[in-house]
Amino acid sequence: MPTTRTPAEAEPRTFSQALRERSWPLHDVANGAEFINALMEGRISRAGYAALVTQHLFVYEALESVAAGMRDDPIAGPFVTDELTRVPSLRRDLAFLLGSADAVDDLEPLPATRRYADRIRETAQWPGGFIAHHYTRYLGDLSGGLAVGTIVSRTYGFQLGGEGVLFYHFAQIPKPRPFKDAYRARLDAARWNPDERERVIDEVVLAYGLNTEIFLALGAVHPATPAAG
Ligand code: HEM
């Protein structure tokens, strides 16, 4: 007698597929924020863009300081690679945008950014949580982030991959697709039980929410300029 199978049962999902499927609605909320839409339409001032880069600096300082302590962790260690490191690029972008390297040391995060950075730092005790934040930022940077970099360069007249937009340029990852495929394979190979997998997915959902909060806060301080025409 034929068995009745749901489509999900017919095609077992990998962890990385389940993660993407469960978190994708939140991805759309994050990149649907007015600030991001306006950025993609060239309707955010240069000061507004510098404010976004500033928030990135605090987020990646948190992420990369936790990453440094995870290098030898059996689960998180394989995800940590120097090819992804963003803080030096962010500092150079900001020095360029603000006109001096000293100005970078005086920057303060928005409260929403502080909350995100604090949450990331808390995962120093939880490799799965760290990977959730690592995935949310770096896989995004290697996906839509590349398009954002191209548009931002055009908007402000920066050289593609040059100062002001170094953050979007992964000099050591010329081919993002195989890198992302290998990353997903590492996610699938991580020895997590079903409960831990659920916790990691929940943390990714939370990470998207924290990103959205930052975009909302940035939109309140730097509203979009009117559309041309
Ligand atoms: C203008 C803004 C954005 C655009 C246009 C965009 C676009 C995309 C696209 C097209 C993909 C699929 C790439 C692929 O399948 O290889 C993707 C993946 C991804 N994006 Fe975004 N994105 C944006 C913003 C964001 C933001 C703000 C975040 C998180 C903070 C993010 C996180 C991710 C992640 C984690 C993935 C990988 C999903 C997976 O395959 O597991 N994106 N993005």
Inside any domain, residue 76: yes
Cβ–Cβ under 8 Å, residues 137 and 60: yes
210 within ligand 1 shell (Cβ under 6 A):
no
Inside any domain, residue 6: no
Closest atom of ligand 1 relative to the 24 alpha carbon: 38
Q: Determine phi and psi for 161, rounding to 5 degrees.
A: 75, 5
Q: How far is the CA of 37 from the centre of ligand 1 (A)?
A: 14
Inside any domain, residue 9: no
Closest CA to 228 of 155, 147, 141: 155
Q: Can you list the alpha helix ranges (DSSP code H) found in 11-160?
A: 15-31, 34-40, 46-70, 87-98, 101-105, 111-122, 127-134, 140-141, 144-156
140 within ligand 1 shell (Cβ under 6 A):
yes
HSE-CB at 229 with a 13 A cutoff on CA atoms is 3
Q: How far is the CA of 27 from the centre of ligand 1 (A)?
A: 7
27 within ligand 1 shell (Cβ under 6 A):
yes
Residues 6+ apart with CB under 8 A from 70: 76, 77, 79, 80, 124, 127, 130
What pLDDT shows up at residue 222? 98
Inside any domain, residue 182: yes
The pLDDT of 21-36, averaged and rounded, is: 97
Residues 6+ apart with CB under 8 A from 181: none
Inside any domain, residue 209: yes
Cβ–Cβ under 8 Å, residues 33 and 215: yes
Specify the CATH number for the domain of residue 199: 1.20.910.10
pLDDT in tens, 155-164: 999 999 999 9
The total number of structural domains in the chain stands at: 1
CA 16 to chain centre: 16
The pLDDT of 45-59, averaged and rounded, is: 98
206 within ligand 1 shell (Cβ under 6 A):
no
Q: How far is the CA of 80 from the centre of ligand 1 (A)?
A: 20
- With residue 11 as reference, give the H or E element that holds it: none
117 within ligand 1 shell (Cβ under 6 A):
no
pLDDT in tens, 93-110: 999 999 999 999 999 999
Length of the chain: 229
95 within ligand 1 shell (Cβ under 6 A):
no
pLDDT in tens, 114-143: 999 999 999 999 999 999 999 999 999 999
Residues 6+ apart with CB under 8 A from 58: 107, 109, 113, 114, 116, 117
Inside any domain, residue 2: no
pTM assigned to the model: 0.94
Inside any domain, residue 227: no
Ligand 1: which residue has its CA nearest to atom 15?
143
What pLDDT shows up at residue 218? 98
Closest atom of ligand 1 relative to the 39 alpha carbon: 1
Inside any domain, residue 73: yes
In which domain, by residue range, is 123 found?
15-221
pLDDT-derived band of residue 227, with 50, 70 and 90 as boundaries?
A: confident
